[in-house]
Amino acid sequence: KAGVTQTPRYLIKTRGQQVTLSCSPISGHRSVSWYQQTPGQGLQFLFEYFSETQRNKGNFPGRFSGRQFSNSRSEMNVSTLELGDSALYLCASSRRGGPDTGELFFGEGSRLTVL
Amino acid sequence: AQSVAQPEDQVNVAEGNPLTVKCTYSVSGNPYLFWYVQYPNRGLQFLLKYITGDNLVKGSYGFEAEFNKSQTSFHLKKPSALVSDSALYFCAVRATGGGNKLTFGTGTQLKVEL
């Protein structure tokens, strides 16, 4: 069973640019969540999508957005990049609801460096 | 709002000795508690969870965690540590109705030495 796939794994951007990250969940998983990991702030929840709808949202500015497609694949976009956006962006897939809720399967992340 | 505290940035233990990684939480309603592990340059891996039932939860790789409601704690334990257990461990909490929105602690680096 293939795991969660995130692309690209590494990318370098400059301030003011925008970036799109992609996530393919485990087959059969319909929930996709995104987290930002930085040395200073740790792991912070960005948003969760289920059935193409945003179900939860963290405390991030509107520059951070996401979407989910009918095949459960998800993308997140960050516009007008700032130096502080440099981070490891982790995608996690899971079933939603019932006893499996919260049991997340993470990808290896997309490491974004903003210069 | 929910929160998690991991009071130790690093825990050192000798191989073969028992290990404990501490976690306390704050959440409204019944807590859903989790432990995840992160190896270098990798994503997180689920270890175990507490939703309801027995206060001692068993998980992957011989790990277990003890839920203590009165102390609002969920400490991770293993009877005999291995060098390969060295990694970054995260405790997380989910509020009732929170879907898959988890609030993570700051992480504890576990170092197991020969």
What does residue A64 show for φ and ψ, rounded to 5 degrees?
A: -95, 125
- Give the number of other CB atoms < 10 A from CB of residue B104: 20
Give me A28's structure tokens. 């059969």
Q: Work out the minimum CA distance from B49 to partner chain A, whole angstroms.
A: 8
With tokens 């899971």, the residue in question is A94
- For B49-96, what is each residue's pLDDT tens digit? 998 888 999 999 999 999 999 999 999 999 999 999 999 999 999 877
Residues counted in chain A? 115
CB atoms within 10 A of CB A85: 21
For the cut 90, the answer to whether the pLDDT of residue B114 exceeds it is: yes
Q: Which residues of B touch A58 (CB under 8 A)?
A: 101
Q: Cβ contacts (< 8 Å) between B29 and chain A: which residues?
A: none
d(CA A37, CA A43): 4
Residues of B (4-33) whose Cβ lies below 8 Å from A? 32
Q: What percent of chain B has pLDDT over 70?
A: 100
Task: Scan for tokens 């050192």, then name that residue.
Answer: B12
Q: pLDDT per residue over A70-108, tens digit each? A: 999 999 999 999 999 999 999 999 987 666 677 899 999
Q: Cα torsion for A86, B38, B43, A16, to the nearest 10°?
A: 0
- Average pLDDT of chain B is 93
